Structure 1
Amino acid sequence: MSVAHGPLFIGHEIYRRSSYGGWHPLRIPRVSTVMDLSRALGWLPAPRFVTSPRARPAALHAFHTPDYVAALRAAEAAQAVSAEVRARHNIGTHANPVFPEMFRRPATSAGAAFLAGELLAQGGTVYAPACGTHHAFPDYANGFCYFNDPVLAILSLRRQGVRRIGYVDIDAHHPDGVEAALGQDPDTLMISVHEENRWPRTGALGDVGGGGVYNLPVPRGCHDDEMALAREALILPAVSDFRPDAIVLQCGADAVLEDPQSKMALSNNAHWAIAAALRPLAPRMLALGGGGYNPWSVGRLWTGLWGTLAGEEIPDRLPPAAEAVLRALTWPGPTRTRVPPEPWLTTLRDPPRGGPIGDEVRTRVAALHERLKVWV
């Protein structure tokens, strides 16, 4: 198990059989789809796949409080929480429900985060699509997130002696939990591009943390050309000037046009282009998943992300075995099961979605670019 000869993919079968509940946005398969598609494409030979361990409770105390970790374990065992526990730890709520694997599933993602830091000690690339739960706080769940595995991954990297870390987040939602934990850390650069006025409604343009925090809220309808501007004028120069020892990319798939949890309008090309451009800027790269609530768009995006990191060519048309993976997916809605258009079943790559760059985006990127020149 080494990154010396190519990137590693950390996954686990728990995601195939686990769901937050039949009504929850995370009722859909995501990581298992990426595993199946990657194997069907021949992109995930056995030596490149690593089964995630489950983080032990004591390890989780690196960021989360013992009382909170104990409360999650107790809630999983009892499949219920008291009103007091619900109020204190924000579990057993509509967003953060009680479900059969409510400790084991996030603890497995946290285990992937810890393992990724260890695997990257000597350099390389690791992909952990089950990670990316960037909203969790030390003592409570938040926004579908029980443990904050981006923070845990960064702490794991630090234990390996990796000091300067660039954290880039292109999820539709602002990474409030990560910024609260590391926004004042001078050895962490944080860049987030997220939809403005979208929950949790943090990450304003003027929120600067300890100086190395760059929040770019973008308006509804943000498209590929606007994200390309953010990439070229903000993300890449900021990361390059920071000279990180490692890059952590949270690559939430909820900013694409088809996702029901945002009003952004990206294609998956935007995410892949950012990952490809960031990879040469540090000796270590950890790519995470995050949001993504359309089973076809998240599966296609995250599989293409793995292909990008692994140096694979995205095919114009999927082979039959990969098509079969996508055709087997379902997306039950409140009133009916949704029917996917044919391109969601036969391709990975979306059509590019460009357009005129809006004045708001141009002005905000320019303002952050100017602050970058002062900061560095």
Structure 2
Amino acid sequence: MTGARFIGSNVYRGSRYGKLHPLSIERVPAVIDICRALGWLPPEVYRTSPMAKPAALTGFHSVRYVAALQEAEAAQSVSSEVRERHGLGTLSNPVFPEMYRRPATAAGGGLLAADLVARGGVVHNPGGGTHHGLPDRASGFCYLNEPVLTMQRLLAIGLERIAYVDIDAHHCDGVAIAFEGSRQVRMISVHEAGRWPFTGAAEDDAGGAAINLPVPKGFNDSEFALLLNEVILPAVEAFRPDAIFLQCGADAVTEDPLSRLALSNLCHWRTVAALRPLSPRMIVSGGGGYNPWTTARLWSGVWATLSGAEIPERLPAEVSDILRGLDWSRRGRPSEALLTTLADAPRPGPVRSEIRELARTVGRFVA
């Protein structure tokens, strides 16, 4: 092990947003189980995430909203006024048993991660990455905005420059709102063009704080490599960050139902490895990811990359059994490769002219 630490919690185990919701799947528990079964997660590197106290959430979220979220969990219902004002009790952000405790634990994990890397180091907080949460309302499956709260903590402990890299299939609208115009946080987002929340156009630089890379459907490994090498890495290196926060959403891979991108999980792992030398501190969160098998495999590989573990070509039976035990309300079953390996086969392809043009268009911000 290289000193990397992993943050998890039992609050995620068995927690569901609802039977037919995209987050009706096990994600963080599957990652924990896989990594333990592979011998990658000894007790000394695992930290149990605390649940953030309400006062720790109000650096970004309103006091009224945090109280409404707590009250909704206690009552397991919301009024029409609360639904309208705060976005609680909707199809995307439903009432469910852990609707306050679960996001508050993800946020607490982010705050703990910030404290753990204060003097340097790397942390994986797969329960985090909820980048759509807004100051006064839930949005896009996100009740609280863990990346914003975590970066606010990093700044509060004295860091001056943070590079926020987001490779989720959806644009990080909540983070962009929080740090618009910032000279301390440089945001770089790769996301599918024309997909909800329909923000993050290439010409939108969030007041000079953001580089947005909206990509077309079918976005492949070769195209990702071009943007990583020609835009993302140079931009991060030029910023000279005191810390890097990588939001490593797993929904840009081919098998995910909520995007039309075509990446392998190798892109995410290569991003982790390439960013790590560019700052003394790094936090890697989860994010999107709505296929239980691809998400568990991808985030397990993130931890292997951070901790220096060797990913086997074929999984031992004990780990395959964990993957076989996952369920999904959608039709269809995973391919055998998704049950017996962690690494996807590469998914290269032609680099389209619109990707090259996108790299040239945003290149003016790399300085």
Partner residue, 2:5: 8
The 5 Å alignment of 1:241-260 reads 241-260=238-257
Separation in 2, partners of 1:200, 1:304: 28
Separation in 2, partners of 1:370, 1:49: 41
Partner residue, 2:324: 327
Partner residue, 1:362: 356
Letter in 2 for 1:331: W
**2:363 aligns to what SS in structure 1?**
helix
Q: 1:223–1:355: 8 Å Cα contact kept in structure 2?
A: yes
Q: 1:186–1:210: 8 Å Cα contact kept in structure 2?
A: no
1:292 to 283, 289, 294: 289
Partner residue, 1:176: 173
Letter in 1 for 2:239: F
Partner residue, 1:217: 214
Separation in 1, partners of 2:279, 2:92: 36
Partner residue, 1:72: 69
Unaligned runs of 5+ in 2: none
Q: 2:211–2:365: 8 Å Cα contact kept in structure 1?
A: no
The 5 Å alignment of 1:220-239 reads 220-239=217-236
Q: How much does 1:183 deviate?
A: 2.4
Q: How much does 1:293 deviate?
A: 0.2
Unaligned runs of 5+ in 1: none
Letter in 1 for 2:342: L
Q: 1:183–1:190: 8 Å Cα contact kept in structure 2?
A: no
The 5 Å alignment of 1:148-159 reads 148-159=145-156
Separation in 1, partners of 2:78, 2:329: 28
Separation in 1, partners of 2:14, 2:217: 34
Percent of aligned pairs with the same amino acid: 57
**2:13 aligns to what SS in structure 1?**
helix
Aligned residues: 367
Separation in 2, partners of 1:95, 1:107: 18
1:130 maps to 2:127: yes
Q: 2:162–2:242: 8 Å Cα contact kept in structure 1?
A: yes
Separation in 1, partners of 2:84, 2:326: 36
The 5 Å alignment of 1:11-160 reads 11-160=8-157
Separation in 1, partners of 2:207, 2:217: 28
Separation in 2, partners of 1:230, 1:212: 18
1:276 maps to 2:270: no
Separation in 2, partners of 1:184, 1:41: 44
**1:265 aligns to what SS in structure 2?**
coil
Separation in 2, partners of 1:123, 1:371: 27
Partner residue, 2:339: 345
Separation in 1, partners of 2:76, 2:348: 46
**1:302 aligns to what SS in structure 2?**
helix
Separation in 2, partners of 1:40, 1:156: 33
The RMSD of aligned alpha carbons is: 1.0
**1:27 aligns to what SS in structure 2?**
coil
Q: How much does 1:210 deviate?
A: 2.6
TM-score for both structures, normalised by structure 1? 0.96
